[in-house]
Every structure is written in C-alpha cells, then in structure tokens.
Amino acid sequence: MTDSYAVIGNPVDHSLSPWIHQAFARQTGEDIAYEKLPAPKDGFKSVARRFFAAGGRGLNVTVPFKLDAFDFADQVTERASAAGAVNTLAMRDDGSILGDNTDGAGLVTDIRDNLGWPIAGRRVLMVGAGGAARGAMLPLLERGPALVHIANRTAERAERLALEFARHGSLEASGFDSLGGSFDLIINASAASLSGDLPPLADTLVGHGCQAYDMVYGAQPTPFMAWAAARGAETADGLGMLVGQAAESFMLWRGTRPQTTPVLQALRARLQNQ
C-alpha cells in the first residue's frame, strides 16, 4: 500500500520537496506518494487534521506554519523543543503525532559531510537571530565549535538567543554595529538574501581560510556569498541544507536514510537549467 506524505505551507507552489522525496523514494525503493498541500494562513490545524485522518503518514511543514506544527504535535523531539518550531510531523503506530525539526541537522550535514568544512574548534559567526538561527543552534553546538557569536540588527534578540543556549556551548552575542574580530565560518541565517540584500557586515570579519554559508539557495550566488567570496572566503548556499533536512525527515518516516549527494547534484543541475 502506498503511504501518503505532503509538504504544507502558504505559499507552497514553489516547494522542491515533492521532487526531492520522490527522488529519495526511487533511490530506496520505498512506496510513497508525496504532494503539495496548501493551507489558509489561519487553517493549518484543520488541514493537517484532515490529512492525517485520511491516512496520511507525514508532513513537511514550511512557512508560516512551523509554530503551528509545534502546537499541533502530541510530542516533540529534543531538537524541535530547542528550536521552538517543527518542520516535520510523523504519524506513529499508536495514532499520536510526533513533531521534529530537521533544519539544523540538514545544515550541519551539508557543512560537514557534503562540503567537508570542519565545525569543531572553530570560531563561528551566526548572522541573524530568528527562527532559522534558532533551529540550527543545538545541532551546531553539538559539533563542538570553539565559539558561536550571534549577530543581529537588534542586539537584545541575539543576546536572548545566546542566553537560551548557553549551557550547550560557548556563545557570544551583539548587534552588527559592535561586532568585531574575525571568524572561521560565517553562516547567514538572516532573511536578507531573500530580498537581494546584504547584512551590514565588516570586511574584517572574514578570517584567513574563512568559509561562508548562506541558508538561502538559488541558481546564482546570493549577495552574501558574493560579498564573502570577494574577500577570499570559500562559499556555499543552502541547497544542500534543503536536501539534508529532507533526508532527515525521510529517515524519520521510513526508517532508511537516502543518499543525498546524487539528489543534490541532480537538483542543482535542475535549478541551473530552469
């Protein structure tokens, strides 16, 4: 029997999740159907409830519903609890709904395994203190960086996030105007690239041998990537994170972990040929 999965969001037409999960299913021989599931902005719970009542087995959750999904789940994983948001819902055998957050794991997997960039022992700058940064924080700190400095336009928001995760590692926080020093790895978790903008970052932040990662992806380098590359940094976008978080969801649902590299390569070629 074919099991049903979907990505729920508003909007959801642009989502690459069906393509990714269908590629995973072909690779692993899993029998699944995967669709896009639009929901009104005030209707997440009713749409999700109908999906599971009709036999659905799992949902990927995208904007603006990750907080709604957190509230909808009967139980959440530690990493979802730390993130305060859920991007994956899974129907369990007892009929309850488990909420997970695979975004941070997808980020770390892409940085460490796909790109081969080290995290342990390095000075990391996290640009932004919103939901994307929060979702990445615990998986990132679990890899043992020497320091994670959170920088945000509003310093107080960065400071609150640093305080919340202080027991998991060495953290600092500041606004952009008082940000100094240099870093080995810079991760752009802000929304600036979505609008073609660049966070106000000083050139001196790019240390020798620095690597710079933008969670946003596209056919062309983002403004953040162009800025970092012009200052000698190796750069990457977030397409591998997208595939990595999807693989974590697939593993949760199906109990088998797909290989991400061939799917990432095919997806990159697809985007560049559009």
Residues that constitute the known binding site for shikimate: 15-17, 62, 87, 103, 217, 245
Residue identified by tokens 């660049």 is 198
Contact assessment for residue 115 and residue 239, using Cβ atoms and an 8 Å cutoff: no
Question: Radius of gyration over alpha carbons of the chain, in Å?
Answer: 18
Residue identified by tokens 């100094």 is 180
Helical spans, DSSP H, in 77-176: 78-83, 103-109, 131-141, 155-164
Residue identified by tokens 């000075």 is 123
Q: Which two tokens stand for residue 178?
A: 């008082």
Distance CA 7, CA 15 (A): 8
Query: Which residues, listed in sequence order, are joined to residue 6 by a DSSP beta bridge?
Result: 35, 59
Contact assessment for residue 189 and residue 133, using Cβ atoms and an 8 Å cutoff: yes
Residues that constitute the known binding site for NADP(+): 78, 128-132, 152-157, 215, 238
Residues that constitute the known binding site: 15-17, 62, 78, 87, 103, 128-132, 152-157, 215, 217, 238, 245
Q: Which amino acid is at 61?
A: V
Contact assessment for residue 74 and residue 98, using Cβ atoms and an 8 Å cutoff: yes
> Which residues are catalytic, by number?
66
Q: What is the DSSP letter of 257?
A: P
Q: Strands (DSSP E) along the chain, which ranges? A: 3-9, 32-38, 58-61, 75-76, 88-91, 97-100, 123-127, 147-152, 171-175, 183-188, 206-214, 234-236
Q: What is the DSSP letter of 75?
A: E
Contact assessment for residue 95 and residue 156, using Cβ atoms and an 8 Å cutoff: no
